[in-house]
Amino acid sequence: MLQQLINAIVFGSVLTLFSLGLSLAWGTLDVLNLAHGAVFVFAGFITYELTKDSTMSFVPTLIVASLAAGAVTLALELVAFRRIRLHFPARRQAELSMLVVSVGAATVIGEVVSHQTSEAAFSPPASAFSIHRYSLGGSVGITNIQILIVVAAIIVAVALDQGIRRTRYGRAIRALAYDPTTTQLLGVNVGAVAAATMFLAGALAGLAGVMLAIYLGGEEVATGQDYLLTAFAILIVGGVGSIRGAIVSAYLIALAETAVVAYGPSQWRDGVAFLLILVMLLVRPQGLFARRRFQRA
Amino acid sequence: MSAAPLLEVRDASVRFGGVHALRGAELSVSTGSLCGLIGPNGSGKSTLVNVISRLTKLTGGALLMDGDEIDSLSADRARAAGIARTFQTVRLLPSMDVLANVMLGGATHFAQRSVAVNWLWPPRRANANRTARQAALVALERVGMAAHAHARPQALPYGQQRRVEIARALASRPRLLLLDEPTAGMSHHEREEVGDLLMELRREGLTQVLVEHDLAMIHRVCDHAHALNFGRVIASGSTQEVAADPGVREAYLGHGSSGERAQDSERAQESGPPESPAKVSQ
Amino acid sequence: MAIASISSWYAGNETLIQNILIYALLAFSVQVVLRAGVFSLAGIGFYAIGSYTAALLLKKGWPTVPSILAAVLLCILLGYLLALLLVRLRDLYLAMATVAFDLMVGVVATNWTGLTGGPLGVTGIPLVMGTLPIFLTAVGAMLLLGLLQRGVLGRSFEAIREDEPLALTLAIDTSRYRHFAFVISCVLGCLAGAYHALLFGTIEPTDAGFELIVLALSMVIIGGFRSWAGALLGAILLTWLPLELTSVGSWLNLVYGGLMIVLATWLPGGLLDALRALLRLPARLRLLLRSPSSLAATGEERG
């Protein structure tokens, strides 16, 4: 029971790290980035490449892989999203085009990774990070990587939440989410804010990807897809663009999925997320926690 | 003149969250008249037009046409019932030419019928396309844009795009035409021309509601006017009466008004964007 | 002789042609909603529902045509119900809800073992489908979709896509039109699935998963979403190219992905738009060569 709770909290922390970037991009820039899962796996792949010959220790690897993930997402912003935002004034067309770009990017990144890894699961060597398990009495225990994941998630969540609320960048983000045209007129460099946001989103996915690769001992291209679908549910339950909503619903969904696997019909695990998405969209499309305006008819 | 009112707005209020866009606005437009609607930015003019065209729901009050309540009507039904409108910004579809844009305005009857039958029953399709085209050509002729029927709307100068919008609204032969700042952003000459057009349409018996910043324009073309501020009608009557109303002058010029502010805003009107402050005729 | 060579070519490529036709139906199902500004990918879920319904009825001993008709009727009913359920959703929210629906269908198909055979899927479906009925269905669909995008009716859908409040003030009952496009999409997806099952004889619950969503969307975006012809072009290219470019092998997906990025960013009308521009080019050049001033004159008149 306690062990299940620990597992749920760790899982929820990974989901938090993963979905915060997705929520940020959609909430502020109308980008539903389907390449987010691929970027996440890409960071795991970089970790594998850097550590397989034991050439790099953990902390530099974590930093390099996260920055690489951020750079990939930033490249997407600079090559495609920025142009689309400028040239497609109709919001609906822009949203569709950006979604399609992200599908294409997911394909490209996934293809590169699976080609380099011969389409098999890849695992960083055990030497990349030596895992210790601390016993909490009986069969219950927690490993150092689990602790690291939870701590990282808490730090990132608090920093992002406070950053959005208090910093200049945070104010620009909120203004952009509310009304891009006016924000531009007020003299905010929308291009720079968008670039920073996409970079941050990618780097957060990267952070989650690296730690998950160590935690699970391996990843494959399909891992990103599974997480992406769960993250959809988190966004919808928490409300698009709401940082706190995403955090709370990440842990809620982690708890629900862990419970279904542990005590319920485990093969319905995937169903939990999809069912939540459908039910939430029908009952409360603005999310459980969000106050952000919802698409008006 | 005591023609029965075509349109009546009674105690209309609209709330968006905590913001009151309209609070108890009253309005009456008699058949065949050209009614001006003035007021500073954010006074509720556009909301009122949205309410009459049924794009915005009333949170209180009533809307009557020919004495029948129409506040439960949807926007598409309202158009079919004869309420046509233009928008503050040009909203022509860039993917089709001028004629096709106006044809959409001339096919309102067709648009209300069953989609499946419209799709699969050839006589209905052919008939709709023919009548819509005729209606569109007539409307384009009416606004003097027939020569540009096959131009792309975005290739036309701004003033002509606005005329095409008026044609699209006229193509369904509406009973009531709502014009939301049809001359915004136009040159003085273009404004005069649109004013002439509206007066001609009035002479032909079309009832119109004209939202306008420019009191001079209202004065020139309208029979009577209503002034709005903070979501309420603060003055109504003949255009002279409304222009002379102390409440209206205060709403436009602020407290302790003098010619100075008016001149400032006049300058802004000449060079500024469509949303620039009002110009007051001296 | 010509006939003989055509028929031998046909014999060698029959499976390819069948696949193209089925994917074309699926691509139409995505295109018809995108053109109307309805961002639904529910057609892929109905691909699964259609394939299971037709196959299971057929295995129960139903004749072919009633099995397919029953599948279509079920999809019309379910599609309409889903449209009503999702009536408040637009754009990305709708896309996400319909993707969730598709994947939910997959989860149900995997786990409702009593009905669907669970993870093993359905096998031994009688192979009652030939190329001709699929061909006729696809041609019929093209004709009907052609009608749906022409004239005032076709432009009404465009108006809904580009400016929904404006469409309302043109007396277009936008929710009725949106529902209509949605149900047509469901029927097309259903037909593609049913034909696939009855042609190849097996169904796996993972058939209509995330990959099929991406494939169908790629076809429509690469070909061009504004016309059924674009969807057809996309279906042909993305079914045929993998066979032609076996030397490229696993890098093929890379090409698709790159193509999607490039097209969505620079050419939202897809290859069909590029093709049309290319076809218009000679005429424009000729006009320019004959009287360079004529273009300038019309430009001046407009400006």
All structural domains of chain A with their residue ranges: 2-220
Instruction: Report pLDDT for A248.
Output: 93
pLDDT at C297 over 80: no
CB contact under 8 A, C258 and A104: yes
DSSP label of A265: -
Helical residues (DSSP H) of chain A, grouped into ranges = 2-29, 36-51, 58-76, 82-87, 91-116, 144-166, 168-178, 180-185, 190-216, 221-238, 243-263, 269-283
Q: How confident is the model at residue B3 (pLDDT cuts 50, 70, 90)?
A: low
Instruction: Pick A285 or C284 by higher pLDDT.
Output: C284
CB contact under 8 A, C170 and B108: yes
Cα–Cα distance measured from residue B187 to residue B206, given in angstroms and rounded to the nearest whole number:
25
Mean pLDDT of A168-192: 85
In the chain, the amino acid numbered C68 is: I
Rounded to the nearest angstrom, the minimum Cα separation between C262 and chain B is 22
Cα–Cα distance measured from residue A33 to residue A23, given in angstroms and rounded to the nearest whole number:
9
Work out the angle between the directed axes of helices C174-200 and C64-85 (0-180°, nearest 10): 140
Helix (H) or strand (E) holding B29: strand B19-30
CB contact under 8 A, C148 and B119: yes
Contacts of C176 in chain B (CB under 8 A): 115
Cα–Cα distance measured from residue A33 to residue A201, given in angstroms and rounded to the nearest whole number:
10
Q: How confident is the model at residue C57 (pLDDT cuts 50, 70, 90)?
A: very high
Instruction: Find where tokens 């689309």 sit.
Output: A84
Q: How many CB atoms lie within 10 A of CB A191?
A: 14
pLDDT in tens, B184-216: 888 889 999 999 999 999 999 999 999 988 888
Q: What does DSSP say about strands B60-65 and B5-16: parallel, antiparallel, or unpaired?
A: antiparallel
Task: For chain A, give the percent of residues with pLDDT over 70.
Answer: 96
Q: How confident is the model at residue B258 (pLDDT cuts 50, 70, 90)?
A: very low
Q: How many CB atoms lie within 10 A of CB B8?
A: 19
Mean pLDDT of C170-190: 97
Whether residue C286 lies within 8 A of chain B, CB to CB, comes out as no
Averaged pLDDT score across all residues of chain B: 86
Instruction: Report pLDDT for B268.
Output: 38
Mean pLDDT of A72-80: 96
pLDDT at B257 over 60: no
Whether residue B118 lies within 8 A of chain C, CB to CB, comes out as yes
- Structural tokens at position B141: 């002729």
Instruction: Report pLDDT for B205.
Output: 94
Averaged pLDDT score across all residues of chain C: 89
pLDDT in tens, B13-63: 998 877 889 999 999 999 999 999 998 888 889 999 999 999 999 999 999
Taking CA–CA distances from B155, the nearest residue in chain C reads: C302
CB contact under 8 A, C171 and B91: no
pLDDT in tens, A249-276: 999 999 999 998 888 787 788 788 888 8
Instruction: Report pLDDT for C292.
Output: 55
Is B247 in contact with B227 (CB distance < 8 Å)?
yes
Contacts of C174 in chain B (CB under 8 A): 76
| Domain parsing of chain C, residue ranges | 16-268
B246-252: long-range contacts, CB 8 A cutoff, minimum separation 24: B248/B38, B249/B280, B251/B39, B251/B40, B251/B43, B251/B227, B252/B40, B252/B215, B252/B278, B252/B280
Q: How many CB atoms lie within 10 A of CB A188?
A: 19
pLDDT in tens, A35-53: 999 999 999 999 999 988 8
Taking CA–CA distances from A275, the nearest residue in chain C reads: C104
Q: What does DSSP say about strands B34-38 and B224-229: parallel, antiparallel, or unpaired?
A: parallel
Q: How confident is the model at residue C209 (pLDDT cuts 50, 70, 90)?
A: confident
User: Which residues of chain B from 132 to 191 reach within 8 Å of chain C, CB to CB?
Assistant: 132, 151, 155-157, 168, 172
- Structural tokens at position A204: 């957060």
The number of residues making up chain A comes to 297
CB contact under 8 A, C261 and A277: no
Instruction: Find where tokens 């709307």 sit.
Output: B153
CB contact under 8 A, A30 and C92: yes
Taking CA–CA distances from C170, the nearest residue in chain B reads: B105
Q: How many CB atoms lie within 10 A of CB C63?
A: 11
Gyration radius (Cα) of chain C, Å: 21
CB contact under 8 A, C265 and A80: yes
Q: How many CB atoms lie within 10 A of CB B237?
A: 14
- Structural tokens at position A84: 């689309």
Cα–Cα distance measured from residue B175 to residue B227, given in angstroms and rounded to the nearest whole number:
23
Instruction: Report pLDDT for B22.
Output: 92
Whether residue C153 lies within 8 A of chain B, CB to CB, comes out as yes
Instruction: Report pLDDT for B264.
Output: 39
Helix (H) or strand (E) holding C73: helix C64-85
Distances (CA, A) of C51 to B127, C70, C102: 40, 11, 13
Determine the Cα angle at C261 with ends C256 and C266, to 5°.
125
pLDDT at A15 over 50: yes
Nearest CB neighbour to C221, from listed A26, A100, A295: A100
Instruction: Pick A116 or B135 by higher pLDDT.
Output: B135
Instruction: Report pLDDT for B1.
Output: 46
Give me the CATH code for the C16-268 domain, please: 1.10.3470
Whether residue C155 lies within 8 A of chain B, CB to CB, comes out as yes
State the chains in contact with A (3 or more Cβ–Cβ pairs under 8 Å).
C
Mean pLDDT of C82-89: 89
Q: Which residues of A17-28 are buried (b: 16+ CB within 10 A; e: fewer)?
A: bbbbbbbbbbbb
pLDDT in tens, C132-147: 999 999 999 999 999 9
CB contact under 8 A, C303 and B80: no
Cα–Cα distance measured from residue B35 to residue B237, given in angstroms and rounded to the nearest whole number:
10
pLDDT at B143 over 60: yes
Domain with CATH 3.40.50.300 in chain B: 1-82+174-282
Cα–Cα distance measured from residue B164 to residue B50, given in angstroms and rounded to the nearest whole number:
20
Is A295 in contact with C93 (CB distance < 8 Å)?
yes
In the chain, the amino acid numbered B189 is: H
Mean pLDDT of A201-206: 96
Rounded to the nearest angstrom, the minimum Cα separation between C22 and chain A is 22
Rounded to the nearest angstrom, the minimum Cα separation between B68 and chain C is 20
Q: How confident is the model at residue B261 (pLDDT cuts 50, 70, 90)?
A: very low
Residue B67 exposed, middle or buried by CB count within 10 Å (0-12, 13-18, 19+): exposed
Cα–Cα distance measured from residue B8 to residue B5, given in angstroms and rounded to the nearest whole number:
7
Please name which of A236, A227, A260, A199 lies closest in space to residue A4, comparing C-alpha atoms. Answer: A260
pLDDT at B2 over 70: no
CB contact under 8 A, A95 and C218: no
Is A262 in contact with A4 (CB distance < 8 Å)?
yes
Averaged pLDDT score across all residues of chain A: 87
Mean pLDDT of B97-101: 97
pLDDT in tens, B215-230: 888 999 999 999 999 8
The number of residues making up chain B comes to 282
Rounded to the nearest angstrom, the minimum Cα separation between A84 and chain C is 6
Q: How confident is the model at residue C268 (pLDDT cuts 50, 70, 90)?
A: confident
Task: For chain C, give the percent of residues with pLDDT over 90.
Answer: 62
Instruction: Report pLDDT for B275.
Output: 37
Cα–Cα distance measured from residue A248 to residue C244, given in angstroms and rounded to the nearest whole number:
50
Please name which of C273, C107, B145 lies closest in space to residue A275, comparing C-alpha atoms. Answer: C107
End-to-end CA distance of chain C: 59
Strands, E assignment, B79-185:
83-85, 176-180
Rounded to the nearest angstrom, the minimum Cα separation between B184 and chain C is 19
Cα–Cα distance measured from residue B22 to residue B42, given in angstroms and rounded to the nearest whole number:
10
* Interacting residues of A275 by C-beta distance below 8 A, sequence separation 6+: C104
Taking CA–CA distances from B95, the nearest residue in chain C reads: C158
Cα–Cα distance measured from residue C33 to residue C46, given in angstroms and rounded to the nearest whole number:
14
CB contact under 8 A, A100 and C264: yes
- Give me the interface pTM, i.e. the ipTM: 0.87
pLDDT at A286 over 80: no
Contacts of C302 in chain B (CB under 8 A): 151, 155-157
Taking CA–CA distances from C183, the nearest residue in chain B reads: B116
The dihedrals phi and psi of B145, each to the nearest 5 degrees, come to -120, 15
Taking CA–CA distances from B85, the nearest residue in chain C reads: C169
A-C contacts at Cβ under 8 angstroms: 136
Q: How far is CA A238 from the centre of its chain?
A: 14
Instruction: Report pLDDT for A58.
Output: 87
Cα–Cα distance measured from residue B196 to residue B220, given in angstroms and rounded to the nearest whole number:
9
CB contact under 8 A, B76 and C144: no
Worst-scoring range by mean pLDDT, A34-38, A194-198, A235-239?
A: A235-239
Q: What is B1-82+174-282's CATH superfamily?
A: P-loop containing nucleotide triphosphate hydrolases (3.40.50.300)
DSSP label of B255: T
Contacts of C265 in chain A (CB under 8 A): 79-80, 83-84, 97, 101
Region class of A142: left (phi > 0), else alpha (psi between -120 and 50), else beta: beta
Is B80 in contact with B108 (CB distance < 8 Å)?
yes
pLDDT in tens, B50-91: 999 999 999 999 999 998 999 899 999 999 999 999 999 899
Tell me if residue B278 falls in helix, strand or coil: coil
Rounded to the nearest angstrom, the minimum Cα separation between C152 and chain B is 6
Task: For chain C, give the percent of residues with pLDDT over 70.
Answer: 94
Instruction: Report pLDDT for B253.
Output: 66
HSE-CB for B275 with a 13 A CA cutoff: 5
Contacts of B104 in chain C (CB under 8 A): 152, 155-156, 159, 170
Instruction: Report pLDDT for A289.
Output: 63
Q: How many CB atoms lie within 10 A of CB B249?
A: 16
CB contact under 8 A, C153 and B103: no
pLDDT at A6 over 70: yes
Helix (H) or strand (E) holding C282: helix C270-290
Instruction: Pick B3 or C275 by higher pLDDT.
Output: C275
pLDDT in tens, C28-51: 999 999 999 999 999 999 999 999
